[in-house]
Structure 1
């Protein structure tokens, strides 16, 4: 028997009694597959557009005569606005239905994305990117909660991992398309090409989503009042530590990826825009890391996966200082893989730990994640402008070390999840595997 995020997965007959009468789609069914495909598509649409300017930042700086820190505001404005509007979109999702919120937010963001290539100066582009980011906030604010609500609890965590794997897929695809198009026709063509990817992915979402998983949340999702849900999201032990992972690790990740193009197109590498953009293929490692995280957490426990991933991420950041391209490429792959391992683990853990406050927990996690992207990612640009690439990597390493310290409160053996009946070390009252052996780990 295999335990995933606290839910036994083997056969219907061995499911926890609380889940035996649940008629929500299971893994392997058509409704489950279509739901996952639809949500991966919205992840692609979101992150292709959110990161569309990142690979063209060096060209933007040269074209507009601005510094690395100032042009990185085109990224920070979008991520910061996304963070600020995540809670707004979460409330709208509770009222009108999460899939409606996702569809509307993507449509608005795509329309704004069509206008961005025509921006004539930096500050107009920053303003348009802020509006686009605010619109895109509807997806991460609603997607994880939607999957948790409409899919069977035994398989929801697996679907969340696949959805999060769609984040690097969209991020990689958007960056590659943008970088290659910019090399051919300028940064404007790069942004336009990423918007086209978003349009296609949005159409996949609309066509693939099953009717039974559209619209408002299940009636059971609103069983407790809004105040109780927020209390669960904010006051449940360990939630602050999980939100800190989102803030700090995304800050380190964005510091590296915002400045990578400047590093690769400058000395000692001197790569062209197209070749430098090709290193964003490292995002395929992020897809693998996200998809693997659920299996790893089920086998070794979420704390071990999270802590090891963060430690390796800090070490990989140090490797990126080596002035030899093959070493940088390998370091970037490792850095990306473990970041998405940590992110997928922390995100799914937060949704489960908050219980009935999962939607609010997802919103707060999203807020912390994109505050890290906007504020700490921009701060990394200041280090780069003042002291260079090495200083930016030191800053990223410091953020990883801070995340490790913050995560100490998540160590196993300290708490019991409310209503779970199983301790984090697996030594609580929950039943173990059939015929004895180790009891399940709770995420």
Structure 2
């Protein structure tokens, strides 16, 4: 019974911490038009408010994943999340946009502590039979936090008249949830510290980056997530302008399409049991390409359908790619997954630099053309990945 109580408290704490983390990362996404108007900045500068936090998260993951192995996970989880949460209350007070971006970067770096230590912490403390369910709850919490914060931010900005008001709403709710996490998170029972060696860690990263197949997977997921996140960013700007003129509360409802990704993630495991993971990545990219074509239509129902398919395609590809990295690496799996996360978030944070020139010259259709070209590159990389896999398998058979 004590073990069951420990399981419930730990799982609840991790899930609530995940909601706090991704709420404070993504709440600004439906409010990019308001940021653009309030700070008198360009569309690219407004999108950087998302890019800065995601890039910070990518770098923070590398740091916290290694540090938590040496000093423990619970304390570092609470401190990192608390610092990131405090920055949420500072953001509405900032009048200089450069300072705003710096704070978003720092916030992303500290909030990276949850995705960095959540699954390892669950793995340390829970029985193997309980772990899959706990991780499933954690992943669902990521989605809940991201969607709920976008919806609340959109409604708050529309009815309270400013994006700053939305920031205080998200911050206050997050603070209440964090208090629950602070008092419910149990102490670690089974943590064994391991001495951190920078040289060894860098050596592991170097070995992974010398493997062409791994690098290709990293590039596919970086380009794919870059397309997905930034497509959503620019769609907010499009829906705010003519001919739609949608207010922020209605625009934010578009993020309910992310539930399509939640659905496709659940199918990804079943697909992988019968088919190869590389084929699964190709299926995901193909769905994204179909979605891209649908998004070229101007009717709002088709835009909604396109975003549902885009979410389904990306998260299907993401599930296959993440699993393929796990299967492809026998040593230093943690560093391999950390590199995956780094490319994942770096792709999201730098995608704006790829898409902004197209948006300035051709508007929404320029975004779709560039996204389509990028996804075709992803498909070519999937083919190369398959060829490398076949070559490696042939070599291993000959050696045997």
Q: Give the TM-score category using the shorter length.
A: 0.7 to 0.9
Q: Given the alignment of the two structures, is residue 63 of structure 1 paired with residue 44 of structure 2, yes or no?
A: no
Conserved 8 A contact 1:160-1:348:
no
Q: 1:117-153 CA deviation, whole Å, 9 max, x = no partner?
A: 1111322211211111121222233334445555566
- What root-mean-square deviation, in Å, do the aligned CA atoms of Structure 1 and Structure 2 show? 3.1
1:341: how far off? 1.8
User: Aligned partners of 1:184, 1:370: CA distance in 2, in Å?
Assistant: 32
User: Aligned partners of 1:367, 1:315: CA distance in 2, in Å?
Assistant: 27
User: Aligned partners of 1:193, 1:303: CA distance in 2, in Å?
Assistant: 42
Q: Which residue of 1 aligns with 2:371?
A: 396
Q: Which residue of 1 aligns with 2:67?
A: 92
Conserved 8 A contact 1:76-1:374:
yes
1:351: how far off? 3.5
1:310: how far off? 1.3
The aligned runs of 1:353-372 (5 Å cut-off) are 353-372=328-347
Conserved 8 A contact 1:47-1:170:
yes
1:322: how far off? 0.7
TM-score by length of 2: 0.86
Q: 1:274-320 CA deviation, whole Å, 9 max, x = no partner?
A: 11111111122222233332233223332222210111112202211
The aligned runs of 1:370-409 (5 Å cut-off) are 370-409=345-384
User: Aligned partners of 2:327, 2:173: CA distance in 1, in Å?
Assistant: 32
The structure-2 alpha-carbon separation of the partners of 1:85 and 1:358, relative to structure 1 and needing over 3 Å to count, comes to: same
User: Aligned partners of 1:148, 1:414: CA distance in 2, in Å?
Assistant: 34
Out of 393-402 and 284-293, give the one that drifted further: 284-293
The structure-2 alpha-carbon separation of the partners of 1:161 and 1:334, relative to structure 1 and needing over 3 Å to count, comes to: farther
Q: Given the alignment of the two structures, is residue 183 of structure 1 paired with residue 158 of structure 2, yes or no?
A: yes
Q: Which residue of 2 aligns with 1:21?
A: none
The structure-2 alpha-carbon separation of the partners of 1:100 and 1:343, relative to structure 1 and needing over 3 Å to count, comes to: farther
Query: Unpaired runs of 5+ in structure 1?
Result: 1-24, 424-428, 430-443
Q: Given the alignment of the two structures, is residue 243 of structure 1 paired with residue 228 of structure 2, yes or no?
A: no
Secondary structure at 2:95 match in 1: coil
The structure-2 alpha-carbon separation of the partners of 1:354 and 1:333, relative to structure 1 and needing over 3 Å to count, comes to: same
User: Aligned partners of 2:192, 2:13: CA distance in 1, in Å?
Assistant: 16
Secondary structure at 2:332 match in 1: helix
Aligned counterpart in structure 1 of residue 260 of structure 2, from 262, 268, 285: 285
Q: Which residue of 2 aligns with 1:193?
A: 169
The structure-2 alpha-carbon separation of the partners of 1:155 and 1:318, relative to structure 1 and needing over 3 Å to count, comes to: farther
Aligned length: 390
User: Aligned partners of 1:58, 1:200: CA distance in 2, in Å?
Assistant: 28
Aligned counterpart in structure 2 of residue 306 of structure 1, from 275, 278, 281: 281
Q: 1:377-398 CA deviation, whole Å, 9 max, x = no partner?
A: 3432332133200111112222
Q: Given the alignment of the two structures, is residue 51 of structure 1 paired with residue 4 of structure 2, yes or no?
A: no
Aligned counterpart in structure 2 of residue 271 of structure 1, from 235, 246, 250: 246
User: Aligned partners of 1:355, 1:148: CA distance in 2, in Å?
Assistant: 18
Q: 1:165-201 CA deviation, whole Å, 9 max, x = no partner?
A: 4332221111111111111221101222222343344
User: Aligned partners of 2:279, 2:8: CA distance in 1, in Å?
Assistant: 30
User: Aligned partners of 2:267, 2:247: CA distance in 1, in Å?
Assistant: 33
The structure-2 alpha-carbon separation of the partners of 1:112 and 1:343, relative to structure 1 and needing over 3 Å to count, comes to: same
Aligned counterpart in structure 2 of residue 338 of structure 1, from 306, 313, 331: 313
Conserved 8 A contact 1:232-1:356:
no
Conserved 8 A contact 2:44-2:352:
no
Q: Which residue of 1 aligns with 2:55?
A: 80
Structure whose residues are more often helix by fraction? 2
Out of 314-323 and 134-143, give the one that drifted further: 134-143
Query: Unpaired runs of 5+ in structure 2?
Result: none
Q: 1:249-277 CA deviation, whole Å, 9 max, x = no partner?
A: 11101221111111111122221121111
Secondary structure at 1:238 match in 2: helix
1:232: how far off? 5.8
User: Aligned partners of 1:254, 1:78: CA distance in 2, in Å?
Assistant: 13
User: Aligned partners of 1:216, 1:350: CA distance in 2, in Å?
Assistant: 25
TM-score by length of 1: 0.78
